[in-house]
Amino acid sequence: MNPRLVSLNSDLGIPSQFLAARGFCECEEASCLEVAEVGADGKDHLLVPAAANAWHNLKSAALSDGVSLFIVSAFRSIDRQTEIVRRKLEAGAPIEDILTVCAPPGFSEHHTGRAVDLSSPGCRSLELEFEQTSAFAWLRARASEFGYYLSYPIGNNYGYQFEPWHWCFNNAQPIVPADAAR
């Protein structure tokens, strides 16, 4: 495993044996990113160009079916992920609980610039209620036409909770199992 990741994770109390046991895959940070969408709050949501292009096509297709989708979160750096986990720890959450809803730094698909967390108007972001929306039904039926796939369905092998909002462009990105030598 990448020594930087071993050290970052061990600082957070996450041993490398744990990463390997959960079957997490290292996700490289994207270097070439573009603005895929600007949030209502003015925040730039970044994706790699192929994922951004596919997102634009997906979003227009959804819109012509009367379904409105927007990005809540896209690219996230390893440093940012470290910060998120650290804040949750500081708030008193046990690391085992944090890692059912949050990837360890270096292991989030958001690092690759290919993953998006999506929502639709009238739905609280990053909540299971997204599963009940017509937007989710549309994604289930059509997202794969644009190369987007649901990464963490119910009962996924990584031990993450079901994330109906999290979709990743072309899951065939190069991924390295956590226990593989580099």
Amino acid at 175: I
Shortest reach from residue 115's CB to Zn ion, in Å: 6
Q: Which residues contact 66 (CB under 8 A, 6 or more apart)?
A: none
Q: Which residues contact 90 (CB under 8 A, 6 or more apart)?
A: none
Stretch that binds Zn ion, among 8-16, 25-33, 87-95, 113-121 (CB under 5 A): 113-121
Gap between the Cα atoms of 114 and 92, Å rounded: 31
Task: Say whether residue 37 binds Zn ion (CB under 5 A).
Answer: no
Asked if 150 and 139 touch (Cβ cutoff 8 Å), the reply is yes
Task: Say whether residue 45 binds Zn ion (CB under 5 A).
Answer: no
User: What residues between 151 and 170 interact with Zn ion by CB under 5 A?
Assistant: 166
E strand spans, 41-106 = 44-47, 70-73
Shortest reach from residue 12's CB to Zn ion, in Å: 19
Task: Say whether residue 117 binds Zn ion (CB under 5 A).
Answer: yes
Whole-angstrom Cα Rg for the chain? 16
Task: Say whether residue 85 binds Zn ion (CB under 5 A).
Answer: no
Task: Say whether residue 114 binds Zn ion (CB under 5 A).
Answer: no
Task: Say whether residue 26 binds Zn ion (CB under 5 A).
Answer: no
Closer residue to Zn ion (CB): 88 or 166:
166
Task: Say whether residue 76 binds Zn ion (CB under 5 A).
Answer: no
Footprint of Zn ion (CB under 5 A): 117, 166
